[in-house]
Amino acid sequence: MLTVILFMLLAAVLASTAVAATPNGAALPAEDPWDWIRRALKLLASVLTNAGRDIVTNRIKGSGTEPLNIGWGTGAGTAAASDTTLFIEKAADLSTGTGTRVAGTSSCVTTSVANDTYQVTGTITATGAGTVTNAGLFDGTTIGSNNLYLKGDFTGVVLATNDSIAFTFKHQLT
């Protein structure tokens, strides 16, 4: 399993899972894989979207749906707050843009002070080959609908059938 840790906004947790390849296909340096991870962070653009802000205020008021559904896309672009979709969102079968997203597991974690960070983790396993370039969290499961909460783009990760990406999304409230 390929592990990609998608850093959202201000914080992230680094998994101790063995990594077979990096997002750009290069092998991790044997002497210090953390150096590669620190360098890779500079390649990610990640944002809380405008719709994400709406989700937060609705949730504070006691309405809306928790944004814990993970989607991935295959298109090029840089994440922006005004984005409402992923760049060419795809299903687990990377050849189709219809279907459902994967439900992640949410929690509140501590980054600086107790419970200051909303975290969602989850894994998508490819049922068809392709290159994943972006991912995000939505408040619904159906591809092509619902509200995009967080979005991140990264160097393409080439996947074969049965390869998977384990995502960790974090939104720290500062």
pLDDT digits (tens, 9 = 90+) for 18-28: 333 344 444 44
Domain assignments of the chain as residue spans, ordered by start:
2-172
Q: What are residue 148's DSSP bridge partners?
A: 138
User: Rounded distance, CA 170 to CA 174, Å?
Assistant: 12
Q: What are residue 134's DSSP bridge partners?
A: 73, 153
pLDDT digits (tens, 9 = 90+) for 133-174: 999 999 999 999 999 999 999 999 999 999 999 999 999 998
Q: Is the pLDDT of residue 46 over 60?
A: yes
Q: Is the pLDDT of residue 126 over 70?
A: yes
Please give the pLDDT value at position 6: 45
44 Cβ partners below 8 Å, 6+ apart?
6, 7, 152, 153, 154
Percent of the chain exceeding pLDDT 70 equals 74
More confident residue, 129 or 14: 129
pLDDT digits (tens, 9 = 90+) for 26-37: 444 445 554 544
**Helix, strand, coil % in the chain, rounded to nearest 5:** 10, 35, 50
Please give the pLDDT value at position 16: 26
Please give the pLDDT value at position 32: 54
In the predicted model, what is the mean pLDDT of residues 69-93?
96
Helix (H, G, I), strand (E, B) or coil at 78: coil
Average pLDDT taken over every residue of the chain: 82
Q: What is the 3-state secondary structure (H, E, C) of 13-71?
A: CCCCCCCCCCCCCCCCCCCCHHHHHHHHHCCCEEEECHHHHHHHHHHHCCCCCCCCEEE
More confident residue, 6 or 19: 6
